A and B are shown apart, each in its own frame.
Chain A
Amino acid sequence: MKERILIIEDDKVIMRFVNLALSTNDYEVVEATSGLQGINAFINNKISVILLDLGLPDIDGIKVLTQIRADDKDIPMIIVSARDREEDKVKALDLGADDYLTKPFGVSELLARIRAVLRRKNPIINESNIFSYKDLIVDQNKRRVFLKGSEIHFTPLEYSLLILLITNQGSVLTHKFLQEKVWGYGSLDDYKTLRVFMASIRRKLDNSNNNFIGTEIGIGYRFNE
């Protein structure tokens, strides 16, 4: 079955091109040119992913985001917006967006982000619970991490962070999200502790030439694809 993607975007040409890009890549597309139309289309169709523009003519995209998120806490939503300020991105991600793509963007990047959120939504049932990507192998049954075949020691907190990152591979995770998931409370030090842990994880994975973890400055981290 084709995945159905809802595009909420008011610019005709962008809508047309994104629609074309998605259709040629075997997705089904539902179009909405305003916020309210978007919410309606979401309710009336079985949607797999939502691409949401923030600068909409009727209601602000952030409102659309919170409304849909209140209705369905799992539906993957990717913000596609010209707003490129850190606070805009952090706000949208913290309000439940799964990813944030700044305009202008290329088709391949858009498709990669869509694949990432879909993978997260439908994880490949892996009986062995073993994550394997390039030289990295994470055995979640035995809590062991291997890089190029040799085992690397991870502290429990580092390990939890790594698991969060690999299970959300391709999606950006905000500082706030990581902090609250791993430590269970908000940061009192501007995420300094979190940054230190991330730096340590990076160092441990740095032996290879692979750049596993990408930084979204001021926003959070992403496990690259």
Chain B
Amino acid sequence: MIKRILSILKYTFLMLLILALSTGLALALDNFDIRSETILLVFVLAILIITLLTDKIYYPLCGSILSIFIFNFFFTEPRFSFVINDPNYYISLVIFLVATTCIYSLTSRMQQQIVIRKENEERLKAISRFDSKLINANGLEEIILLLSNSLKDFFHERVTVLKVEDKKIILDNIDIDSETLKAFNLSINNNEVVGGSTVYYSNFNKIILPLSYDQNIVVALVSINFTPKKKYLSSSETDFVNSLMLSSKTAIQKEMAIKDKEKTSLEIQKEKFKSNILRSLSHDIKTPLTAIQTGLSLLLESHDKIDEKTRKSMLEDMNKESIRLTNYVENLLAMTRFSANEFKLNKKNELVSDILDEAISEVKEHLGDHKIKSTLLDDSLTVNLDSALIEQVMRNLINNAIFHSKNNSNIEISAKEENNYIVFSVVDDGGGLSKEVLDNLFLEFSTIAFKQGDRYRGSGLGLSICKSIVEAHNGTIIGFNNDCGGASFVFKIPKE
């Protein structure tokens, strides 16, 4: 209020000062016998200056009327009186009044234009700032926060941005009266602008704009309170808000599209993983089964067409295949037990020589043309282990040597004591491991199966079981190509 009185006083003083100065100038000009029309122009100039320097129409208007009196008093005959003799002056004065009013309205309109243009410029800048920030925004939350901040730069406390999830507003300790809540829900459910000059709640003291993306899913509400003086948003304000909302919407759509894509690619990965593992398992089971079934059906159908020797070797092959299958199924069961964590070590002190003998006796049947021997220096060596599980490790390693090495290869198994560990090794001279197999040695079975599908040839599951068993005994296992042109597998477990 005081501010207002001060500004009135200031502008009134300014007006009076300008009038006094121009009166002085006019009087000075009058001394040089300048024509009174020219003097009148001095006052026109004064009014123009007053218009430019003040902010209300009263000042130039008062100024005009005062100028008329001053002019009348000082410069019309009879001088120094308010009487006018010449009717010409009446006309001059009326034109003067009209002219100053016109000048005022023109300049004030121009000033308004400048203000609007400035505002627009700032809004455009704000929009472009907003857009450039949006590019780096990550996630819905950030986009909404950015929108909220940008709107607050313009509408300050009048704007509220609320998050919406599943058609429910997230109210973070914000009090809302029931009427407003109703309006909010109306906006969410219909994805429509509510309040302001819309059909809904047209007399509301605020306007509510929903921010939505595809399928009309509303993710946020923008609520802008009106000022007591202006119960609407100007068209430039509306444009500004709409443009920010549109940019946000596009950003959200982009965000959602990326998320969708990520989700599908993850699902495809998972699907591929599952199908590759299944493929690998089914290949490993079905290959020996196929050999057995083909062989048996051939013998059944064409028994007499095949000579005795071939028949015998076929039976040997089938026997080998059935052992391979048994072996595989055992490993499969072991894997199931491992992954179900249903496995306990049943450790006992065992003679190392027993373990080696048992391993050899198990594979003797299907050795074919391979040769096997065991070396053990100390027959009294004992070790604390779960014999059933370690047997499975030995069996897997020896069977790998039998099934994956060239004909007539030699297999040597041995054991010795080394720093309180018992070191077992299975060594063959049957060709060794390919680089691909070496790279995947002892990898988690699922990893190999996923990488190779049905390209991998057996042993993937077996070796991963071996590793699990040895590690459960606090031991280690390694595999490498040896100097004898074959593969070596060595594992050690603590003696006690």
Contact = CB atoms under 8 A, between A and B. Distances in A.
Partners in one complex: yes
A16 interface: yes
A17 B295 contact: yes
Contacts of B293: 104-106
B327 to A, nearest CB: 15
Interface stretch (A53-61, A131-139, A211-219): A53-61
Interface residues on A, range: 20 to 34
Tell me whether chain A's interface is mostly helix, strand or loop, or mixed: loop
Contacts of A11: 287, 290-291
Interface stretch (B224-232, B252-260, B371-379, B453-461): B453-461
Nearest to A87: B275
A17 B305 CA distance: 14
A107 B320 CA distance: 20
Contacts of B287: 11, 14, 82, 103
A82 B297 contact: no
Contacts, number: 83
Contacts of A17: 291, 294-295, 298, 314, 317
Interface in B215-237: none
Contacts of A56: 455
Interface residues on B, range: 20 to 34
A83 interface: yes
A107 B290 CA distance: 10
A31 B31 CA distance: 130
B297 A57 contact: no
Interface string A80-108: 00111100000000000000000111111
Tell me whether chain B's interface is mostly helix, strand or loop, or mixed: helix
Contact of B301 (A18, A60, A104, A108): A108
A11 B454 CA distance: 12
A157 interface: no
A13 interface: yes
Contacts of B455: 55-57, 60
Contacts of A25: 302
Given A17-B298, A57-B455, A103 B289 contact: yes
Contact of B279 (A24, A55, A107, A110): A55
Interface string B22-42: 000000000000000000000
A16 B321 CA distance: 13
B311 to A, nearest CB: 10
B242 interface: no
B290 A55 contact: no
Given A16-B317, A82-B282, A105-B290, A24 B454 contact: no
> By CB atoms of chain B within 10 A, which of A55, A56, A57 has the most?
A55
Q: What 8 pairs across the A-B complex have the smallest Cβ distances?
A: A55-B454, A106-B297, A82-B286, A104-B290, A13-B291, A104-B293, A103-B290, A17-B294
10 contacts: A11-B290, A13-B317, A21-B302, A24-B298, A25-B302, A103-B289, A104-B289, A104-B294, A106-B293, A107-B302
Interface of A: 10-11, 13-14, 16-18, 20-21, 24-25, 54-57, 60, 82-85, 103-108, 110
Interface of B: 275, 279, 282-283, 285-295, 297-298, 301-302, 305-306, 310, 314, 317-318, 320-321, 453-455, 457
